[in-house]
Amino acid sequence: MTRRVVVTGMGALSPIGADWPAVSTRLREGRSGVQVVEDLADFEGMDTRLGALVEGFETPAHYPRKKTRSMGRVSLLATRATEVALQDAGLLEDPVLGSDRMGISYGSTSGSPPAMMVYAKQLYAEGTLKGIHATDYVQFMSHTVPANLAQFFGVRGRMIPTASACTAGSQGIGYGHEAIVSGKQDVMISGGAEEFHPIDAAVFDVMYATSTRNDAPETTPRPFDVDRDGLVVGEGAATLVLEELDHAKARGAQIYAEILGFATNCDGKHITSPDEEGMARVMREALADSGLKPEDIDYVNAHGTSTEVGDIAESRATESVLGNTVPLSSLKSFLGHTLGACGALEAWLSIEMLRESWFAPTLNLEKVDPRCGELDYIRGKGRTLEAEVVMSNNFAFGGVNTSLIIRRWPG
């Protein structure tokens, strides 16, 4: 019998908030989390001054220093989002938390950049090991987030790190789904996180891919718009507690949604340039995994980075698979591009929008780039939809593609 996977807990920290009612209000009011980050002006040659930050976050007072000293900001954001999700799922005191039947599938683009800088500065600039602490490496190792989550919450099942840049969060959810479907685990902590740092802005700035609307942060990013000028880097974390359906029912858990399908592949063509064919192929594979047809998809949460090549390739791929009548929008217009967190944040928001039967628009989308086709882009004030199934797509450097298919849970 096929094992079904449901979402029983959710927690998030985003540039537009952590509590869904407050986030929903900001989405409806068209207020993004993009702001001017003055520190970016300190770097010669940095054109962008924009970022989307999680404001006001501090390490919770009840977190033991012994457990947080190995954490950079990215792990702390993930830990708080996961704590909220586990509380929401009613699992913080459940015996499954420390059993072999519960695991972690979680990602980030990398570890914490400030810890990387300690090594770089002391070794190469100062020529000494003085000033380097034993925990610095643990803070920036590629699997720092799931490793820290495991030790903080005492998780003993399988650990699946997903350090795949902009698909880290969606792969975190997808691989968590697969671990449960395969029967290897009953519950998975799944998601992605990212912390804002100038190095992330610089990565895209040197590629001329960042927005430079520094005097008007409220007007950018502009996915699919003819006047877009690049992305805005953001930060955040989102955790979904995934659970096998019978396991969830047996303990009387609240169920938010069902993960129907997941697919991931790679283009095998170019390290940074998106490939339309690979994008289309991953959507078809996700449909096949879910047993659905293209016409069953009621809404698409687009990756929508606000870069020219990305927007065009994604739009064409989406139209080739789903046609041009399915409603579509990009939440990066509100959140910025949260890199390793984006797939998880967007899945969380897709589930909440499903539950509310209202879907956010692509902010700042005033005139669609003709090269992006004639898709049904949601614009303006958003749209009320009696949707049952959403597809959430993400794409990353290295030609990594992901597609998640999520269904509203009845009632």
**Catalytic hit among 143, 303, 342, 372:** 303
Ramachandran sector of residue 314 (left: φ over 0; alpha: ψ -120 to 50; beta: rest): alpha
Provide the residue-wise pLDDT of the chain in tens; the chain has 411 residues.
Answer: 689 999 999 999 999 999 999 999 999 999 999 999 999 999 999 999 999 999 999 999 999 999 999 999 999 999 999 999 999 999 999 999 999 999 999 999 999 999 999 999 999 999 999 999 999 999 999 999 999 999 999 999 999 999 999 999 999 999 999 999 999 999 999 999 999 999 999 999 999 999 999 999 999 999 999 999 999 999 999 999 999 999 999 999 999 999 999 999 999 999 999 999 999 999 999 999 999 999 999 999 999 999 999 999 999 999 999 999 999 999 999 999 999 999 999 999 999 999 999 999 999 999 999 999 999 999 999 999 999 999 999 999 999 999 999 999 997
Distance between CA atoms of residues 9 and 161, nearest Å? 20
Domain with 15 in it: 5-408
Is 270 part of the annotated catalytic residue set?
A: no
Output the CA–CA distances (angstroms, integers) from residue 194 to 74, 161, 263, 285, in the order listed.
5, 14, 22, 27
Is 337 part of the annotated catalytic residue set?
A: yes
Q: Which pLDDT does position 298 carry in this prediction?
A: 98
**269: helix, strand or coil:** coil
| Cβ atoms of residues 406 and 348 within 8 Å | no
Q: What are the phi and psi torsion angles at 282 (to 5°)? A: -70, -35
Distance between CA atoms of residues 399 and 268, nearest Å? 6
Quote the pTM value: 0.97
**Catalytic hit among 143, 166, 247, 342:** 166
Chain centre to alpha carbon of residue 327: 20
Distance between CA atoms of residues 407 and 85, nearest Å? 19
The total number of structural domains that make up the chain:
1
Distance between CA atoms of residues 225 and 190, nearest Å? 32
**Catalytic hit among 143, 247, 337, 372:** 337
Is 247 part of the annotated catalytic residue set?
A: no
| CATH at 345 | 3.40.47.10
Q: Which pLDDT does position 141 carry in this prediction?
A: 96
Angle made by CA atoms 360, 315, 256, in degrees to the nearest 5: 40
346: nearest Cα among 264, 243, 237, 244: 237
Sequence-distant (6+) residues with CB within 8 A of 52 are: 15, 32, 33, 34, 35, 196, 232, 233, 234, 235, 335, 336, 338
Q: Where are the alpha helices (DSSP H) in 37-143?
A: 65-68, 73-89, 113-119, 134-140
Cα atoms in the 13 Å half-sphere on the side-chain side of 8: 27
